Amino acid sequence: METQTRRPLLGCIADDFTGATDLASMLVRSGMRTVQTIGVPDADQAIEADAIVVALKSRTIEVGEAITQSRAALDWLRAQGCRQFFFKYCSTFDSTDAGNIGPVADALLDALAQDVSQGFTIACPALPENRRTVYHGYLFVGEGLLNESGMENHPLTPMRDPNLVRVLQRQTQSKVGLIPFETVSRGEHAVREAMARLRADGVRLAIADALSDADLRTLGAACADLQFVTGGSGVAIGLPDNFRRAGLLEATAEPARLPAVDGPAVVLAGSVSKATNVQVAEWRASRPALRIDPRALARGEAVVEQALAFVEAHLHGEQPQPVLIYATATPDEVKDIQAELGVAAGALVEEALASIAQQLKARGVRKFVVAGGETSGAVVQALGVQILQIGPSIDPGVPLTVNVGTEGGSGHEPLALALKSGNFGSVDFFAKALRYANGERS
């Protein structure tokens, strides 16, 4: 008899990596076994999971390119057999007047709609646990409106209008409507009725109010029959229950369970953010660490070889222990280095850390804790990792992950990875991540 594999139910497209991880962790907490991909994978092997999150970097790229990448992600998710699709953006609705939320939502709706009546969805960035709420279409961050939250000064996506109906309407030719709080608070049935009325009125995208997780669950339940939903990670809270009610989602005792990974570990930090500076200092106070000097890299010195020797000396010494290799520096130091080397300094450091990771993998290292979004991108690329199974959260927003094989079977080397973007993680994050990678859960 053929073994039944579990086919994915929910296919998600996220417009940045951190947001994708956020969503993936949320889905795991809601009982779905979830994998996250870095871009659209080359491999077309069948993924065994309940949900897949494709992480794009499409938030601020040119709109045509954002549409192309999002469509490619959708095609790949459809080929995986997903039944419902979710477009995830930031809980502060980060976008410009040109997009990309509206145009990408439109393009995905167009791609999925078999008939005009299917061409409808909601848009709701609310994430009450982080105090992002939507009331009468106005997005609040804490007690204040979006345009008084600091987001009005964002360098790439300044949010100067808190009214999301207006914001979204500027991005799309589709008619934008509103599902107000009064409707959402009356429950799933009222929301379904409102959706039917909006559709009949020619609305294709409706901003939905939500002040609490209960509101998000109401919205989620009302979206059970929509093939396509858009929102922050909050809206996805309600989606797993739909699959459960329909008998499609088997109960999994431990959705965050990962295959065991054996082998030595290393910590690589290329992040220069505040939290990482603190984490590096905490580690250095009691554990071995080696600093990568961008100036030495620029001079062509054998920095990578020195780092490899340092790692090996500690891994194979009398008391084997993992080390930290870091380029992390204070903002002033980074400014000095950039003044001297130009912006190329960043690329030099990324290449060096990626090369160290690659060579350590070849020498048997199997666990990698990486600090920095750009740095993580460079490292996973060097390691040939495209698909990550999402495990338990080490700290909020940072799950432990294990790569899913794309080599087609026997050659697959499982690696445990903890990829921490800039300001995430507690002071002792590195040590904690290593404990998680070793199978401990605290």
CB of 271 to ligand ADP, least distance (A): 3
* CB nearer ligand ADP, residue 166 or residue 335: 335
Angle at 173 between CA 168 and CA 175, to 5 degrees: 70
CB of 422 to ligand ADP, least distance (A): 3
Residue least distant from ligand ADP (Cβ): 372
CB of 356 to ligand ADP, least distance (A): 12
CB of 425 to ligand ADP, least distance (A): 10
Whether residue 99 contacts residue 242, with contact meaning beta carbons closer than 8 Å, is answered with no
CB of 397 to ligand ADP, least distance (A): 13
CB of 393 to ligand ADP, least distance (A): 19
Q: How far apart are CA 132 and CA 164, in angstroms?
A: 13
* CB nearer ligand ADP, residue 19 or residue 103: 19
Whether residue 196 contacts residue 177, with contact meaning beta carbons closer than 8 Å, is answered with no
CB of 22 to ligand ADP, least distance (A): 16
* CB nearer ligand ADP, residue 213 or residue 293: 293
CB of 277 to ligand ADP, least distance (A): 9
* CB nearer ligand ADP, residue 181 or residue 430: 430
CB of 337 to ligand ADP, least distance (A): 4
- As a three-state string, the secondary structure of the chain is CCCCCCCCCEEEEECCHHHHHHHHHHHHHCCCCEEEEECCCCCCCCCCCCEEEEECCCCCCCHHHHHHHHHHHHHHHHHCCCCEEEEECCCCCCCECCECHHHHHHHHHHHHCCCHHHCCEEEECCEHHHCEEEECCEEEECCEEHHHCCHHHCCCCCCCCCEHHHHHHHHCCCEEEEECHHHHCCCHHHHHHHHHHHHHCCEEEEEECECCHHHHHHHHHHCCCCCEEEECHHHHHHHHHHHHHCCCCCCCCCCCCCCCCCCCEEEEECCCCHHHHHHHHHHHCCCCEEECCHHHHHCCCCHHHHHHHHHHHHHCCCCCCCCEEECCCCHHHHHHHHHHHCCHHHHHHHHHHHHHHHHHHHCCCCEEEEECHHHHHHHHHHHCCCEEEEEEEEECCEEEEEECCCCCCCCCCCCEEEEECCCCCCCCHHHHHHHHHCCCCC
Count CB-CB contacts under 10 A for residue 63: 18
> Which of 60, 71, 175 has the alpha carbon at shortest distance from 123?
175
* CB nearer ligand ADP, residue 76 or residue 326: 326
* CB nearer ligand ADP, residue 26 or residue 419: 419
Q: How far apart are CA 255 and CA 206, in angstroms?
A: 32
Strands 416-420, 121-124: parallel, antiparallel or unpaired by DSSP? unpaired
* CB nearer ligand ADP, residue 245 or residue 335: 335
CB of 358 to ligand ADP, least distance (A): 16
* CB nearer ligand ADP, residue 190 or residue 298: 298
CB of 233 to ligand ADP, least distance (A): 20
List contacts with ligand ADP (CB under 6 A): 270-273, 276, 294, 327-329, 334, 337, 345-346, 349-350, 372-375, 422
* CB nearer ligand ADP, residue 55 or residue 315: 55
* CB nearer ligand ADP, residue 91 or residue 375: 375
* CB nearer ligand ADP, residue 74 or residue 419: 419
Q: How far apart are CA 277 and CA 103, in angstroms?
A: 38
